[in-house]
Amino acid sequence: MGSSTAKKILIERFDRVMMRGFAQALPASAAEALELITPDGAALTVPLDQIKAVCFVRDLEGPSIFKERKEFLSRPKSHGLWVEARFTDGSRLEGMIANNLNELNPPGYALTPPEIAGNTQRVWIPQTALAELVVLGVVGTPKRTAVRRGQETRQIKLFGETA
């Protein structure tokens, strides 16, 4: 595994055991397991049904998202869907996901957490860990006004302009 593509991750499991290490890729389907290389160099595979969240972090020794702020203090400013992830164990986490259905991967969802200055930069949550994923708001989507063919606009023409 090349070190340039390996990402630092913290895996939060449902049994409250945190695993630290490096991952090269997320699972492509729910049947696959996540491959983890520990800081000691051991290769482990973690089944998705044991994973609560995968936190992509700045520092392996820092806290995971569940030790940081888990909700926005006010309406988020970045573009996307403001969502609340409700886990099967009853815990909750707010975040932003892309407002593009092509970016939603079938085995899980990638969120940007509320605390952008914290240790966790992104969170990936397997679908098996979620009871619900609720959209709280759509942020930054411009209102589109379509001009229909043959319909005149209300703007007046000046100085002999043509459309």
Asked whether residue 161 carries a pLDDT value surpassing 80, the answer given is no
Whether 121 is covered by a domain: the verdict is yes
The verdict on residue 153 lying in a domain is: no
Q: Which pLDDT tens digit goes with each residue over 38-73? A: 999 999 999 999 999 999 999 999 888 888 888 998
Q: Tell me, yes or no, whether 98 lies in a domain.
A: yes
Domain of 42 in residue numbering reads as: 7-139
* Residue (of 134, 137, 48, 127) closest to 92 by Cα position: 134
Q: What is the pLDDT of residues 111-153, one digit of tens each?
A: 999 988 889 999 999 999 999 999 999 988 666 655 555 556 6
pTM of the model: 0.79
One-letter amino acid for residue 39 of the chain: P
d(CA 21, CA 57): 10
Question: What is the tally of structural domains in the chain?
Answer: 1
| CA gap 153, 6 in Å, rounded | 54
* Percent of the chain scoring above 70 in pLDDT: 87
Is pLDDT above 60 for 2?
Answer: no
